Chains A and B, each alone.
Chain A
Amino acid sequence: MEFLSLLTPQFFVLVAGGTMVGILFGAIPGMTATMAVAVCLPLTYSLGLVDGLALLLGLYVGGISGGLVPAILLNIPGTPSSITTTFDGYPMTQKGEGERALKLAIYASLFGGLFSLAVLYLFAPALADFAIKFSYIEKFLIILLALTVMAALSSSLIVGIFSGVLGIFISLVGTYPTSVGGNGEVRLMPEALIPYLESGFALLPVLIGVFGVAAILAEAAQGVREETAADRLRLTTGKPFSLSLFRGQGVNLVRSASIGTFVGILPGVGGSAASVLSYSQEKNFSRNPEQFGKGAPAGVIASESANNGLTGGALVPLLSLGIPGDSTTAILIGAFALQGIQVGPLFIGENPQIWNSMIVALLAANAVMFLMMYFAIRHLARLVLIPKYVLYPIILMMSVVGAYTINYGIMFDVWTLLLFGVLAFVGQKLGLEVAPFIIGFILGPAAEIYFVKSIESFGTLTIFFTKSPIAMVLWVLIALSVGLSIYLARRAAGRGPDDPAAERGA
């Protein structure tokens, strides 16, 4: 229980503050948990890892949860993962049951968050123990598997893989570092840029650009319309909330939270996939599916317990394999790197105090999220009224701070921010997928080391198939994920155009 000494009052203040700001980000349409974590990352430079993580995990949990507020009240998903919450949450508001729907969603969120936290706590150390035995070959195959799984769940397998490989390619710009056995030569850039790009594009400016700047450019392109619908909020004219709404919903809760957690574990798959999947499952199993879309409490429960299930799930591969489970946890890698700590199979064993304090932070964040949203819901409902013309300039300013301070003051990093903001904006218009790109970008350098070192040691490509039984199992999984996605694409093609909600991604 040594880690208890790390849990200072400041720790809990940061969790609570992070959760509150996260809810704010989540509640404002167009701003996501990912953006909250990216923009607030510079604040953690001087905090130390434990306190910094407290803030970021609070932001994460709050950001995922906050999306339910505008989804239910305004029919606008605050984050991509609350799309399915609008299906039944908004009809409830139209019936005057806004507060009932909100409280229902908050309870479901709490359950999803705690469920996935339990899975994280039990499962991540076991997976890490297993992964410690992996050699470079298995590690390379894990990355390959991560990319194919992610691509398989993108709206198009081939475009998803292309986006991921593009991310790897761009991550290779810079020096092949001698510290990992490279030869210290630079590659993939014109001579003129060598002074700037010697160590490649810095991770955080790229992340903040892709998730912060690009989102604001997208809003600017749509004219930055303010939502004016909030004056017709009707919170409590209909039936009041009571816990008896959850009677008979146990299976729904557990199934939806499990789906959310599982989707979270799969790398690079956003929250919308989790909630869409569990919503449609609940609808399939329901005795009265015709109620769905007209204000069925079960729909709200399915959606919200699934998207909060993501939080713990997405941390499992991050903390046991060093592979982020979604775009928000990808940014958490940056927070660890900042403090000089590498996440991977050894992380939990070598840093039990940090690990325990993360679990406490997540627990506290879920508790704060619940209390804050439950008791302050009426005030929170007004959050959606903060005008965008005030908010977006602040976000851009904070993005600059984040990019500039990451390497102690390099103006080139600030330009990187804008460059990747514009590229991501254009790329999304052209149909490229952001999540696979970012995961490719993060894992690219590791993939290179594992791949080149494996070949340098064994001198043959067959080693990737014959090294160990684990390698063969990984190949089977890779084949399965490709096969599954082709099967899903076939089925979707047979059924007509995809569900638009499933394509938005996170």
Chain B
Amino acid sequence: MDGGLSSLLAVSVDFSESHLFFPRIVFAVLVVLFLAVLVTKRREIAASAGRLRQEVRDTDRMRLLGTIGLTVAYFLTMPVVGDVYPHSGLGFYLTSIPYLFLLSLLYLHVRRGRPLLIAAVNAVVAPSVAWYVLARLFNLSLP
């Protein structure tokens, strides 16, 4: 190493800005890599557009979006119910029952008879067991 090169590679970190030092480097690397992916994979990316479109078409949109929608509703109502009965985990318990049942309904292809009964029993039993074991026996905090 001659003097010129090592002075070129000398770096000092300003403490007040040190929280941005590494993130900036990582971000720069990320941008370079992204461009590199675009350049080296341009053929695959162009070819995959059609595949992705096909995949979007084949997606079971009702079940995918239904899962996300139900989960959002579950997360939103959980703390609300939990505030009514604080520190009991009942927010989790009481919202889990309809959540599990509706999800099972969403996933079932034939919504009658024995599967429906199993789904209903499961929706009551599973949250009850989880709530009893976790909130009562293990004393975990639940919403």
Contacts and interface: CB of A to CB of B under 8 A. Distances in A.
Do A and B pair up? The answer is: yes
Given A182-B18, A389-B119, A418-B72, A46 B138 contact: yes
A451 B25 CA distance: 11
A226 B71 CA distance: 22
A257 to B, nearest CB: 35
Interface string A39-50: 000110110000
Given A46-B140, A162-B37, A220-B66, A389 B104 contact: yes
15 contacts: A42-B140, A156-B41, A162-B33, A165-B33, A172-B23, A222-B60, A389-B103, A389-B104, A389-B115, A393-B103, A394-B126, A415-B75, A447-B22, A459-B12, A462-B5
Interface in A356-412: 387-390, 392-394, 396-398, 400-401, 404-405, 408-409, 411
The interface residues of chain A, by DSSP majority, are classed as helix
Nearest to A182: B19
Contact of B30 (A165, A213, A216, A397): A165
Nearest to B134: A401
A396 B78 CA distance: 14
Contacts of B100: 393-394, 397
Given A390-B122, A461-B11, A397 B130 contact: yes
A392 B100 CA distance: 9
Nearest to B104: A389
Contacts of B59: 221-222
Contacts of A452: 13, 18, 21-22
Contacts of A221: 59-60, 63-64
Contacts of A461: 9-11
Contacts of B23: 169, 172, 187-188, 448
Interface string B102-143: 011001110000010011001100110010001000111111
A156 B72 CA distance: 35
Interface string B23-53: 1011101100110110011000000100010
A158 interface: yes
A184 B19 CA distance: 8
A90 B63 CA distance: 31
A187 B107 CA distance: 41
A433 B117 CA distance: 40
Nearest to A216: B67
A162 B30 contact: yes
B139 to A, nearest CB: 7
Nearest to B40: A158
Interface residues of A, number: 69
Given A401-B134, A401-B140, A414-B75, A429 B22 contact: no
- Most chain A CB atoms below 10 A, which of B25, B36, B55, B68: B68
User: Which 6 A-B pairs give the minimum distances between C-beta atoms?
Assistant: A176-B19, A223-B60, A389-B107, A393-B103, A185-B19, A461-B9
Nearest to A394: B126
Given A168-B26, A460-B11, A390 B68 contact: no
A136 to B, nearest CB: 13
B15 A223 contact: no
A159 B37 contact: yes
- Most chain B CB atoms below 10 A, which of A185, A393, A400: A393
A46 to B, nearest CB: 4
Nearest to A223: B60
Given A183-B18, A405-B142, A414-B75, A169 B66 contact: no
A158 B11 contact: no
A163 B37 CA distance: 11
Interface in B71-117: 71-72, 74-75, 78-79, 92, 96, 99-100, 103-104, 107-109, 115
A390 B18 contact: no
B109 to A, nearest CB: 8
